[in-house]
Structure 1
Amino acid sequence: MAAANKDRRPIVTLESTAGTGYRYVTKKNKVNTRERIVLKKYDPIIRRHVEFKETR
């Protein structure tokens, strides 16, 4: 039963589109969000908010 719950919310890596190589690690609900997620988050290397895209 616990294995089924982990499959629904896998761990994904979000990488900065600014090219700094900075990454965030988060979880997403695979049932509700099928496509790759894009979030606007803070990149401390360039000190501004940029888009972070999901990598595989």
Structure 2
Amino acid sequence: MASTELRPIVKLRSTAGTGVTYVTRKNRRNDPDRMVLRKYDCVLRRHVEFREER
């Protein structure tokens, strides 16, 4: 049942390799591909891309 959920919880991991993660929800109908967002990385103290991991 969890895989057919419309708004699943996804984990976003920093592409800078610092290990920082964000947890959010996404709408599977609007964003069927993996999410890529620019968010703040507190280790680097700047904004970097965060990609959805599965």
Task: Structure 2: state its 5+ residue gaps.
Answer: none
Q: Which has the higher helix share?
A: 1
How much is the aligned-residue C-alpha RMSD, in angstroms?
1.4
Does residue 37 (structure 1) correspond to residue 12 (structure 2)? The answer is no
Which of 16, 21, 24 does residue 22 from structure 2 map onto?
Answer: 24
Higher Rg: 1
Distance 2:27 2:6 in 1: 6
- TM (normalized to structure 2)? 0.91
